[in-house]
Structure 1
Amino acid sequence: MLSYRHSFHAGNHADVIKHIVQMLIIESLQQKEKGFYYLDTHSGVGRYRLFSEESEKTAEFAEGIGCLWQRDDLPEEVARYIAQIKKVNYGGKELRYYAGSPLIAAQMLRPQDRALLTELHPTDFPLLRNNFKGFDNIQTKRDDGFQQLKATLPPKERRGLVLIDPPYELKEDYDLVVKAIEEGYKRFATGVYAIWYPVVLRQQTKRIVKGLEATGIRKILQIEFAVRPDSDQRGMTASGMIVINPPWQLEAQMKKILPYLVKVLVPEGTGSYSVKWITPE
């Protein structure tokens, strides 16, 4: 369905939504002085050259980060996200690199915060390890990311964000996401869990939603961004983030900025968005 290696899709419209949500959650956690734990279950390599062979093959970033890069009318939340991407481009005007979720987190972490980045892909893991070897508070591990919710939770900080972003190459990934959340939530019910998902076939997305509803977990917010209506044709029509225990501001923040993103990223008028509760408090 989707290429396992994120380098083919770095900076696309799905990344824009995912990383804005990630940034807003981290900002919320940092409103308290106490440190927190960040777990990235499917990290990729963390940093992507947008003019690599993989990125140029699809050029998906042109319809994502590329649409926002030089605009001067950005909502403040989107401007802060662009500032994160500018850091990996050395503050310059030219867009050459894209920061994956591990690097966005790394750029935002304070000395009292810590992170675990896991990646199983045999080619991607050495690149991930090399990209983050200079960060004292970040550990990288070649392992099954789903298992880390069982192995590392609850964190000693008792505060944290778990980002789950599997490739969904296998149909089982949809069920594994729900199982991983169940395992993690048993151990760390107060943590924030953010699950990214693609909409390729709507029925598969519904599997995650129904699975999470069946767990009995409360406070589950669903944020979705579509570039075109659902279709039986090949390809991703939309993507979203499901957030368990979302910061109280997140719903309002996303309702504010998603209309702007629909207008800018999908100028042909086929785009849409939704922000709704799967299960309220």
Structure 2
Amino acid sequence: MNYRHAFHAGNHADVLKHVVLLAVCDALTAKPAPLFALDTHAGRGLYRLDADAARRTGEAADGIGRLLELPRQCAPLERYLRAVQACRMAHGAEAYPGSPWLLAHALREHDRVAACELQPEEAEALRTVFSRDPRVAVHQRDGYAALKALLPPRIGDTRFARGLVLIDPPYEAQLEEFDHALAALRQSLERWPQAVYALWYPIKRRRSLQPFLRRAATLPAKSSFVAELMVHPDDSPLRMNGSGLLLLNPPWRLDTALAAALPELVAGLGQAGACWRLDWLKAAT
């Protein structure tokens, strides 16, 4: 696997993913019971946008860079920007938080996070980030295998009834990755059916996603929807025109929060022909 997220940190896909992730965390922490969060493809946890990899692509300039220049925004975007600023206060002006950093930032002292990363160098960097945070366990292992090993979660005497699972794979072979992700989600729902699951996916041509979405609608979740951000027109298979998240068992009113955030993301990050979509695959009964 050759993927390195450092080249893409802070781009439009990260912005969408992290806005949604924080909105989920805030909805879950509104209740006092402890939470368990699993990040299956965690990366290194913390990035520098002035590093060679990020500067080589320049993707962050059209993501978090543009968003920081906009006037005050809706609550989910303000929440995300506060988290980015907190990261920079702690780690420097060019720092950008990965998803495990955001999970640790958003969750509480009695919550727990498991962050999985297969690549040795990235996993070592991840351990360094969380070396002083006992809430976060770093695992150098395959994220899909971790779903079987760590769910349903139990740490010591604590059984976690609530929590979330983020699956953010590299999609080096997109159709094959969809097969792996959907199979993993189906098995995980059988093991921990009450959790919130979020699967990030890239979009080149949206019509190519239809088989994936039809299969996603059959997963044994109580409810599910997709939230998508297209920053370019949906007409080129050669670039990532946008991205989306499949949300299973989403918290109450998460769709309302994202319906406010997505138009602002289009306005702030989109080029001509940009659009957003929020569609229910299975409504709660």
Matched, 1:229 2:233: yes
Residue 83 of structure 1: aligned partner: 82
Matched, 1:5 2:9: no
**TM-score, structure 1 as length reference:** 0.94
1:174-189 aligned within 5 A: 174-189=178-193
Check whether the contact 2:70–2:268 (CA below 8 A) recurs between aligned residues: no
Residue 136 of structure 2: aligned partner: 138
Residue 261 of structure 1: aligned partner: 265
| Cα separation, 1, equivalents of 2:211 and 2:53 | 30
Q: Secondary structure at the match of 2:120?
A: coil
| Cα separation, 2, equivalents of 1:202 and 1:147 | 29
| Cα separation, 1, equivalents of 2:115 and 2:239 | 28
Check whether the contact 2:221–2:249 (CA below 8 A) recurs between aligned residues: no
Check whether the contact 1:3–1:167 (CA below 8 A) recurs between aligned residues: no
Q: How far apart are residue 3 of structure 1 and its match? A: 6.3
| Cα separation, 1, equivalents of 2:214 and 2:118 | 27
| Cα separation, 2, equivalents of 1:29 and 1:54 | 34
| Cα separation, 2, equivalents of 1:214 and 1:69 | 39
Q: Secondary structure at the match of 2:218?
A: helix
Check whether the contact 1:42–1:164 (CA below 8 A) recurs between aligned residues: yes
Check whether the contact 1:45–1:127 (CA below 8 A) recurs between aligned residues: yes
Residue 156 of structure 2: aligned partner: none
Q: Secondary structure at the match of 2:194?
A: coil
Check whether the contact 2:39–2:115 (CA below 8 A) recurs between aligned residues: yes
Structure 1, unmatched stretches of 5+, are none
Identity %: 35
2:115 to 98, 114, 117: 117
| Cα separation, 1, equivalents of 2:219 and 2:26 | 28
| Cα separation, 2, equivalents of 1:159 and 1:173 | 26
Q: How far apart are residue 240 of structure 1 and its match? A: 0.5
Q: How far apart are residue 182 of structure 1 and its match? A: 0.7
Structure 2, unmatched stretches of 5+, are 154-158
| Cα separation, 1, equivalents of 2:81 and 2:141 | 31
Q: How far apart are residue 122 of structure 1 and its match? A: 2.4
- The alignment covers a number of residue pairs equal to 278
Single out whichever of 147-156 and 237-246 deviates more from structure 2. 147-156
Q: How far apart are residue 217 of structure 1 and its match? A: 3.4
Residue 98 of structure 2: aligned partner: 100
| Cα separation, 1, equivalents of 2:60 and 2:195 | 31
